[in-house]
A and B are shown apart, each in its own frame.
Chain A
Amino acid sequence: MDIESLTRKSGEWLRATGPESDIVMSSRIRLARNLAQFPFPARADDTTRAEIEELLRELIKRRPAGRHLNYIPVSALTTLDRQMLVERQLISREHSETQGRRGVGISNEENVSLMINEEDHLRMQVLHSGLALDECWAEIDKIDDAIENEVAYAFNERLGYLTACPTNCGTGIRVSVLLHLPALVATKEIQKVFQALQKIGLAVRGLYGEGSQAMGDFYQISNQVTLGKSELQTIKTIQDVVPNILSYERRVRTALVKENRQGLHDQVSRAYGVLQTAQTISSEETMHLLSSVRMGINIGLIEDLEIPLVNELFIHTQPAHLQKIRQETLETNERNIARAAYIRERLAERHRDRN
């Protein structure tokens, strides 16, 4: 796998094959780990960072838990290529923007990604389509065991796994689900969901995590506490609350259809129409319209389009992807034109395939 081949495919987690994938775009678990004998990456000099990278890269090469991972030396990539990995959710923004030797091991299906020298020495994540936290945990737990077998993790009996930021110590786990909640957003009911989640210690973020805006009605729900709660307790808290949010979103969708089916049909059809014909379109408008279309498919108002393509368009219409696909640097205005052309092309392809 190389960067160029990535642009022509998409991650398995976008294929909408998992449970509840009409609303739950993906489930993700990440673990933060550090090696006992090194300072944390931000405090490590170049030689030490290189040593950490080498040591962990060797482990990745040895297929932890039987997983073949492709190693990408992130520090050797261009800004654009790093940005593309962020857009695909394979590395974090921090990993993309920080300095010094670092890399990532990625599985062919893009479900597993192991970041070296992020904020911690090792940040592992497993990503699956739909509501599939048990699968994520089973997989990441095995990979973690395999790596732990070869190195001494920084661990303290009282405080658990030690991390560069005290907000992550203990289990070092972040469990999250990415939900598509257009009906709750449209009716502003989403505020009630936020408040309820905050009360039970869960955080709500946008598509790209910490500090990012909610785009395309996508919300990421994740735990905040990592000390004093086991991995399974943390997973269960999220597993218990998600079905309530799903039924809430579905209830509101049904009510919207009942109230004004024609109006809603008009709205999603117009959104679809604009995407098929626009000559220039911003990233923001794209996300907004794709969100309408995605809901339209799920409630049966759009029948000639499938969810996986819409999911893919959310990712492939972002700035770095567009520039990689077009193989040139584009300014905002040029990107808007390229984006509109790309969407028209992909949606037309879809129709050709069907005829």
Chain B
Amino acid sequence: MKKCGRCSKPAVLHITELRQGDVKALHLCEVCAKEYLSQSPAEQVEPTPDDVTSESADDLDGIDQQSCPSCGITFKDFRAGGRLGCPQDYTVFEDELLPLLENIHGETDHCGKVPKRAPDSSQRQVKLIKLRSDLRVAVEEERYEVAAKIRDEIQSISSENSSHETA
């Protein structure tokens, strides 16, 4: 299956653009296709490197380099793969995600089912994701003493969690 020309997801829409005798074939995934189709024809022209001013490139870099403190994913990673790393990303990248969500859904406010039990808003969930990410790094770097400490901490927070849940 062909990959999307803008990210690496499988392309599901195959568009042939005919403009002033120019023929351009585009292979896009659902998300990118929606984005593409909602743009005006003028915006659709793919920017050549010359079109990008150094300022906007810097801006883009700034956003792209920002990473989620919990799972470590950058906005650039998300743009490349089309998948977020953890639930926390919706908060970390909120400013970047809201226009995208508006594009996809036409709305940015949930309507419908809500968990009957209030979501655990304590920082514990966030912390657990962060610790797991730290643990992975520690293991990769073969810092096993640090890893063991992190593992203990995860266990103690997890057991707090379950005692909280049964309470």
Partner of B112, one of A44, A154, A170: A170
Q: Is B63 an interface residue (CB 8 A)?
A: no
A155, B114: Cβ atoms closer than 8 Å: yes
- Knowing A158-B109, A160-B112, A228-B109, say if A211 contacts B87 (CB, 8 Å): no
Give the chain B neighbours of A40 by CB distance below 8 A: 83-87
Give the chain B neighbours of A229 by CB distance below 8 A: 107, 111-112
Give the chain A neighbours of B132 by CB distance below 8 A: 38-39, 44-45, 48
How far is A340 from B129 in the complex, measured between Cα atoms in Å?
Answer: 53
Partner of A152, one of B104, B107, B125: B125
Give the chain A neighbours of B106 by CB distance below 8 A: 225, 228
B117, A36: Cβ atoms closer than 8 Å: no
- Knowing A145-B116, A155-B119, A210-B12, say if A166 contacts B101 (CB, 8 Å): yes
How far is A99 from B50 in the complex, measured between Cα atoms in Å?
Answer: 40
> How many residues on the B side are at the interface (Cβ–Cβ under 8 A)?
46
Shortest CB–CB separation between residue B143 and chain A, in angstroms?
16
Q: Is B141 an interface residue (CB 8 A)?
A: no
131-182 of chain A: CB within 8 A of chain B: 141, 144-145, 148-150, 152-162, 164-167, 169-171, 173
B113, A227: Cβ atoms closer than 8 Å: no
How far is A148 from B116 in the complex, measured between Cα atoms in Å?
Answer: 8
Give the chain B neighbours of A42 by CB distance below 8 A: 81, 83, 85
Shortest CB–CB separation between residue A347 and chain B, in angstroms?
34
Give the chain B neighbours of A144 by CB distance below 8 A: 113
Closest chain A residue to B100, Cβ basis: A166
B120, A211: Cβ atoms closer than 8 Å: no
Q: Is B105 an interface residue (CB 8 A)?
A: yes
Q: Is B20 an interface residue (CB 8 A)?
A: no
- Knowing A158-B109, A227-B101, say if A36 contacts B83 (CB, 8 Å): no
Shortest CB–CB separation between residue A253 and chain B, in angstroms?
30
Give the chain B neighbours of A159 by CB distance below 8 A: 90, 101, 108, 110
- Knowing A155-B114, A160-B110, A211-B10, say if A165 contacts B83 (CB, 8 Å): yes
53-99 of chain B: CB within 8 A of chain A: 70-71, 73, 81-87, 90-91, 97
How far is A229 from B111 in the complex, measured between Cα atoms in Å?
Answer: 5
Shortest CB–CB separation between residue B75 and chain A, in angstroms?
12
> How many residues on the A side are at the interface (Cβ–Cβ under 8 A)?
49
How far is A211 from B9 in the complex, measured between Cα atoms in Å?
Answer: 11
182-206 of chain A: CB within 8 A of chain B: none
Shortest CB–CB separation between residue B55 and chain A, in angstroms?
27
Closest chain B residue to A173, Cβ basis: B112
Give the chain A neighbours of B105 by CB distance below 8 A: 170, 225-228
Q: Is A230 an interface residue (CB 8 A)?
A: yes
How far is A210 from B158 in the complex, measured between Cα atoms in Å?
Answer: 37
Q: Is A22 an interface residue (CB 8 A)?
A: no
Q: Is B161 an interface residue (CB 8 A)?
A: yes
Give the chain B neighbours of A211 by CB distance below 8 A: 1, 10, 12
A164, B161: Cβ atoms closer than 8 Å: no
How far is A60 from B165 in the complex, measured between Cα atoms in Å?
Answer: 18
Q: Is A249 an interface residue (CB 8 A)?
A: no
B113, A228: Cβ atoms closer than 8 Å: no
How far is A197 from B114 in the complex, measured between Cα atoms in Å?
Answer: 29
B101, A153: Cβ atoms closer than 8 Å: no
A sample of 23 cross-chain residue pairs with beta-carbon separation below 8 angstroms, ordered by A number, consists of A36-B125, A39-B86, A43-B73, A43-B85, A48-B132, A152-B125, A153-B119, A154-B87, A156-B119, A159-B101, A160-B110, A161-B113, A162-B90, A164-B84, A166-B97, A166-B104, A169-B101, A210-B10, A227-B101, A227-B108, A228-B105, A229-B107, A230-B112
Nearest 7 Cβ contacts at the A-B interface: A228-B107, A160-B110, A154-B87, A230-B112, A227-B105, A43-B85, A39-B86
- Give me 7 other A-B pairs in contact (C-beta within 8 A), A156-B110, A165-B82 excluded: A36-B119, A37-B161, A39-B86, A42-B81, A43-B85, A45-B132, A210-B30
